[in-house]
Amino acid sequence: MPSKPFAITLKPGTSLANLTGTWRTARPVYLDRLPPCNNACPAGENIQGWLFHAESGDYEQAWRVLVQDNPLPAVMGRVCYHPCEGACNRGQLDSAVGINSVERFLGDEAIKRGWKFEVPAHGSGKKVLVVGAGPSGLSAAYHLACMGHKVEIHEAGPLAGGMMRFGIPKYRLPRDVLDAEVQRILDLGVTLKLNTKVASIDLSMRQGGFDAAFLAVGAHIGKRTTIPAGDASHIVDAVSVLRSMEGEDKPMLGRKVVVYGGGNTAIDVARTVKRMGGEPIIVYRRTRDKAPAHDFEIEEALQEGVMIKWLSTIKQAGAGEITVEKMELDDKGFPQPTGEFETLAADSVVLALGQDVDLSLLDGVPGLEVKDGVVQVAPNMMTGFPGIFAGGDMVPSQRTVTVAVGHGKKAARHIDAWLNGTNYESAAKHELAEFEKLNPWYYSDADKTVRPMLDIIRRQTSFDEVQGGLDETNALFEARRCLSCGNCFECDNCYGVCPDNAVIKLGPGKGFEFNYDYCKGCGICVAECPCGAIKMVAEDI
């Protein structure tokens, strides 16, 4: 008796016996690419990484990932000039993700909920001196403390914060926010000695028995320029004006205040004067587009009624008035005098022409190199003297809070290695997740959430914070606008689009795997991955 029906000689079987993977000439592989935001962040934040948690509403986890790189998110969310957003791929779709506003939301949430850093279980037994409690010093102290080192900060001023407290005005950075983030760092066991100016680093290190030092003294000496001035003229520098705003005796500037300079400091002083009831006028020798201040800051100042005289230099300062000369730009874009003069009423002149570094604490330290008034450091942030590292405004760099924080982190890693007699090797950078690597079809259209601004009258008359924050719903919305560039966000596309079922879904949080037994190497999964987290590599054949 034949066991099979007529004409059937083979047993039926499944096509799984046919390993179509042998057809392949190239294979898809999962990878993490470096999102442009992360790449642009001077503090090296893993932005895509923390947004990922914020997207699911797990704000604490988002905050914890964030503070692995930057201990000051609430400050950052207010004063950082967010180069990340300038680089954000979503900018090429509709508008950049409001990274900075989500960061602020997380920072504020952490303060509200009282989230703390984890104190390391074991100490290293090493002692590090940090000079200066500005952003760079605080960042270094935080990272060093997390690594188990004993950290002591010596700060010349009466309070911690550096330029975050004695430069940036309250209406941009409320002090309770700054205080909360500083305190959280101190809670790690960091010792902060206020009113303790380091006069000689060598002496302070020996006296305290420190194994290494991180210097972050900032740049506090206001640059002067020679303006022919009568005795009755009242000329002061911007940094001291802003600093005295923090003390008991507010600066006496009169009603008509001329601010000389075109940087962010000039803008901050002018806006401060406005809030004190004065009539500020900024005098700057070049044009608005050439001014170093950020355009949004100029715009906010103008909105508040700050006057600005572009293309003007101060020729002379006298009692109650100044003489300015009109300038014009030459073909190279440099301002040239025109010989046309004008007088302006001025009860005082505030010079906002930049700051120099006070390097006297380094007197007598051998091996140091000082160029253009700043201390030169090696790529590991170490000065020419072994064991003394430096960062922030006192080394060659862009002078921002974020760069200062980044320096503090980087220095901490190298100090840690140096203390252990090793070298810190940073992990190789992943390839960049450029916009061309994405498949933007899959993202729905969603415009950026705009942060609320304080009404203009209160901006002109009070030091209340100008820019508001996001609330839970719009912070979540904003986080979910992230395209997750270069990093899988479990959209299931690759799993869905494979004609050969050659993608295995491992389950929530576990990602995906290729089944190379059947993958024919068509590349559809690569083409349809929204965020560029898969690439094709040639097979060796």
Partner 1 sequence: MSFQPVKFYQTGTYTVGNRLLAPDERSVQANQMRGNSINSGHRACQGCGEALGARYAIDAAMVESNGQLIAANATGCLEVFSTPYPESSWQVPWIHSLFGNTAAVATGIAAAMKAKGRHEVRVVAQGGDGGTTDIGFGCLSGMFERNDDVLYICYDNEGYMNTGVQRSSATPPAARTATTMPVGPEPGNVFGQGKNVPEIAMAHGIPYVATATVADLRDLEYKVRKAMRMHGARYIQIFVPCPLGWGTASHDTIRIARLAKESGMFPVFEAEHGEVTSVLKIRNKVAIGEYLKPQKRFAHLFGKHAHPETVARLQAIADRNIRKYGLLEEETD
CA distances from 365 to 72, 131, 358 (A): 32, 15, 15
Q: What mask, x for binding partner 1 by CB under 8 A, covers residues 34 to 73?
A: ---------------------xx-----------------
534, interface contact from ligand FAD, ligand SF4, partner 1, none, CB < 5-8 Å by kind:
ligand SF4
Q: Which letter does DSSP use for residue 24 in this model?
A: -
Residue 2 lies near partner 1 (rule: CB under 8 A): no
Distances (CA, A) of 433 to 53, 354, 439: 20, 37, 11
Question: 454: Cβ–Cβ under 8 A, 6 or more apart, which residues?
Answer: 464, 465, 466, 467, 468
Q: Given the complex with ligand FAD, which of 160 and 534 has the nearer CB atom?
A: 160
157 binds, among ligand SF4, ligand FAD, partner 1, none (CB under 5 to 8 A by kind): ligand FAD
Contact flag: residue 358 with ligand SF4 (CB under 6 A) = no
Of 190, 518, 532, 533, the one binding partner 1 (CB under 8 A) is 518
Measured from the CB atom, is 437 or 451 closer to ligand FAD?
A: 451
The sign of the torsion formed by the CA atoms of 11, 17, 22, 27 equals: positive
Q: Which does residue 255 bind out of partner 1, ligand FAD, ligand SF4, none, counting CB within 5 to 8 angstroms by kind?
A: none
Among 444, 473, 540, 541, binds partner 1 (CB under 8 A): 444
C-beta closer to partner 1: residue 249 or 445: 445
Q: Please, what sign has the CA dihedral across residues 264, 268, 273, 279?
A: positive
Interaction partner, residue 156 (ligand FAD, ligand SF4, partner 1, none; CB < 5-8 Å by kind) = ligand FAD
Please name which of 83, 6, 8 lies closest in space to residue 45, comparing C-alpha atoms. 83
Map the footprint of partner 1 across residues 322-381, applying CB under 8 A: none
Contacts of 243 (CB under 8 A, 6+ apart): 166, 167
- Which C-beta is closer to ligand FAD: that of 64 or that of 399? 399
Q: Are 158 and 194 in contact (CB under 8 A)?
A: yes
Site for ligand SF4 in 54-113 (CB under 6 A): 88-90, 97, 99
CA distance 60 to 50: 10
Nearest distance, CB of residue 503 and ligand SF4, angstroms:
5
| DSSP 8-state symbol, 51 | H
Q: Centre a 10 Å sphere on the Cβ of residue 372 and count the other Cβ atoms it contains.
A: 8
Secondary structure of residue 236 in the 3-state scheme: strand
> Rule CB under 6 A: is residue 493 a binding residue for ligand SF4?
yes
CB 255, min distance to ligand FAD, A:
22
User: Residue 80 touches which of ligand SF4, partner 1, ligand FAD, none (CB < 5 to 8 A by kind)?
Assistant: ligand FAD
> Inter-axis angle of helices 59-66 and 99-113, to 10 degrees?
110
Beta carbon nearer to ligand SF4, 262 or 521: 521
435 forms part of the interface with partner 1 (CB under 8 A): no
Q: Which residues contact 431 (CB under 8 A, 6 or more apart)?
A: 31, 33, 34
Q: Which amino acid is at 359?
A: L
Query: Quick check: 187 binds partner 1 (CB under 8 A)?
Result: no
Please state the φ and ψ torsions of residue 260, each to the nearest 5 degrees: -105, 110
DSSP state of 408: H
Q: Which of 229, 353, 446, 454 lies at the binding interface for partner 1 (CB under 8 A)?
A: 446
Stretch that binds ligand SF4, among 29-37, 148-156, 198-206, 210-218 (CB under 6 A): 29-37
Pairing of strands 191-193, 150-154: parallel
DSSP single-letter state for residue 292: S
Q: Least distance in Å: CB of 476 to ligand FAD? A: 26
Could you give the angle at the alpha carbon of 445 between the alpha carbons of 477 and 84, nearest 5°?
60
Q: Are 442 and 491 in contact (CB under 8 A)?
A: yes
Which residue ranges make up the site for ligand FAD (CB under 6 A)?
Answer: 79-81, 131-137, 154-157, 162-164, 167-168, 197-198, 216-218, 239, 242, 264-265, 268, 358, 361, 392-393, 399-402, 404
Tokens 């700057």 belong to 284
Q: Which of 222, 521, 532, 533 binds partner 1 (CB under 8 A)?
A: 521
| Residues 452 to 511 in contact with partner 1, rule: CB under 8 A | 477, 480-484, 489-493, 495-502, 505, 507-509
Considering only 193, 490, 504, 535, the residue that binds ligand SF4 (CB under 6 A) is 490
* CA 523 – CA 203 distance, rounded (Å): 65
- The alpha carbon of residue 399 and the mean position of all alpha carbons in its chain are separated, in whole angstroms, by 11
Q: In angstroms, give the least distance from the CB of 56 to ligand SF4.
A: 15
User: For residues 315 and 480, which CB has a smaller minimum distance to partner 1 in the complex?
Assistant: 480
Binding segment toward ligand SF4, per CB under 6 A, in 67-75, 146-154, 307-315, 496-504: 496-504
Strands (E), 53-190: 127-131, 150-154
Binding site for partner 1 (CB under 8 A): 8, 10-20, 23, 55-56, 441-444, 446, 477, 480-484, 489-493, 495-502, 505, 507-509, 515, 517-518, 520-524, 526-528, 530
